[in-house]
Structure 1
């Protein structure tokens, strides 16, 4: 019987035999391999119910490369239409999902989102995800529900297709950013309610007051609201319009702002934002 590694064609025969319900011995005879070779191959790659030809071949090539046995993919496993190594794409997708998990995204939701991001179509059905992730439909459904709650994916039924597809588009990150900003605003509002209940003069009330200020500032900055940077630009516009330096109190009166708001805006535009060369040029302007 021939030795050596199983080829992609061998694995196609194994997959076809399993689909027909053949035993390992019969499949082994068809490809002229020992029965033990077939049984190990199937057991190593998910068992008879979950064996996938392409996945098994790529996984074997990856293990072989890690052991230094071969430099690249077997020619039987071609690169895709863009010249990309499918094995490298899969490894990156797993790396991306792992990063999401470390930042707090549930593991299955991270795997689903990473698959959608790295798929050229940006659109996969539940069946696609079940096959590629090798998980149950229930696991995919829970992950999709979580991601829909974050508004990073949406369901879509396209003309001519019976199945729903889960879609990620180019506007997803802006929506996620704004959703996060709104969540921070809710944290600020809730913390402020706690200040009213517990009294800002108490340790717990002061803690909640700081919490409210932090999340309010974060929400303003993320949503482009009137944060300190926006105030600094308003003060700069006022000074430019006046054409001369103005005291903080006069600026406050002109803008109709509390003095501490003007002071904070001026602090954001402090000279430490300028380089030494810029400061020297402003102190001694060229004639």
Structure 2
């Protein structure tokens, strides 16, 4: 557990790192620990050449038992202000963090977010997070920076005029996380679509990127709810106009033919380009400089079928 006592697994990782020739800083980074913790652990237990994980774990446990004062009577179970077992709460926070780590959240960011969620206080300072999680200020700062970038945590100044900032979870944190994920999927789709157009979707590489683009676009559409009804209607009208014209048209030409403002045409073209699965079986295609036409979705017809239909 980062910030707490080294576990047997941590010590096995330290021994493996030393055997592999890793420096103390590299071992600390892999375990998400301060370098000073790793250097003290190795120095106390035989040094870099004599360090043995099993021996170090046994020796540390023995030292802890010797330093612990003998209890004269059974101590009452610790409870918090709400009658809960603080140790059980801490263990849940670590399980909560581990679940987030499994989804790709950095470990320290996950621990900070889990602690903010399980704290009764509406906000915590960096100093409080350092004390509760037993990690360095640098670790907390890096974790908070990540959580702010993905819009899961925000900071506020001390309302009492103090110099410490408070970190708290936004009320709509999971809605923001959902939107962030939808935007990320849309970016994946757009990048893959550019690759498919560059490599040509009729080639194996281009087809692979086209399939990737469609997959992430579908995820983004599902998460964002797809286009609004009015925008969808405009997009379908523009596609119908291009199909009826049977030739490439620019946005101004479409605006003149449909008697729409140019910005409405531009918005409709953007919707049609973004929501390809929604416009299926038609898909918008750039035909020339600033001109567009329509085509059948590439996943509807195989190359053989296309050739046969043109024969």
Question: Given the two structures, how large is their TM-score scaled by the length of structure 1?
Answer: 0.54
Aligned residues between the structures: 176
CA RMSD of aligned residues (A): 3.5
Q: How far has the Cα of 1:213 moved from its partner?
A: 0.6
Structure 1 residue 107 displacement after superposition: 1.0
How is 1:101-250 mapped onto 2 (pairs within 5 angstroms)? 101-160=101-160, 161-226=162-227
8 Å Cα contact 1:122-1:169 kept in structure 2: no
Aligned to 2:281: 260
| Structure 1 residue ranges without an equivalent (≥5) | 1-38, 45-59, 61-69, 235-252, 262-287
Residue deviations 1:157-202, cap 9 Å, x none? 1310320011113210000100110111111111110011000000
For residue 43 of structure 1, report the CA deviation from its aligned partner: 7.1
Unaligned residue ranges in structure 2 (runs of 5+) = 1-62, 234-243, 245-277, 283-311
Question: Which of 56, 64, 73 is the matching residue for 1:40?
Answer: 64
| Maintained 8 Å contact 1:109/1:143 | yes
Deviation at 1:226, TM superposition (A): 3.6
SS at match of 2:213: helix
Which string of whole-angstrom CA distances, capped at 9 and with x for unpartnered residues, describes residues 110-160 of structure 1? 111110111122411110011011111011111111111111001111310
Identify the structure with the greater strand proportion. 2
Equivalent residues of 1:98, 1:110 under 8 A apart? yes
Q: Check 1:216–1:112 CA distance in 2 against 1; reply closer, same or farther (3 A cut).
A: same
Deviation of the 1:76 alpha carbon:
6.1
Sort the Cα spacing of 1:259 and 1:132 in 2 relative to 1 into closer, same or farther, 3 A.
closer
Aligned in 2, Cα 1:43/1:123: closer, same or farther, shift over 3 Å?
farther
CA distance in 1, matches of 2:178, 2:214: 19
Give 1 or 2 for the bigger CA radius of gyration. 1
Give the distance between the partners of 1:209 and 1:180, measured in 2 at CA: 20
Q: Following the alignment from structure 1 to structure 2, what is the Cα–Cα distance between the partners of residues 159 and 137?
A: 22
Tell me: higher relative CO, structure 1 or 2? Use CA pairs within 8 A at least 6 residues apart.
2
Q: Deviations over 1:16-70 (max 9, x none)?
A: xxxxxxxxxxxxxxxxxxxxxxx736978xxxxxxxxxxxxxxx9xxxxxxxxx9
| Residue 212 of structure 1: how far off its partner (Å) | 0.7
If the length of structure 2 is used for normalisation, what is the TM-score? 0.50
- Quote the residue 1:14 is aligned against: none
1:8-157 equivalences under 5 Å are 40=64, 74-75=75-76, 77=78, 79-157=79-157
SS at match of 2:167: strand
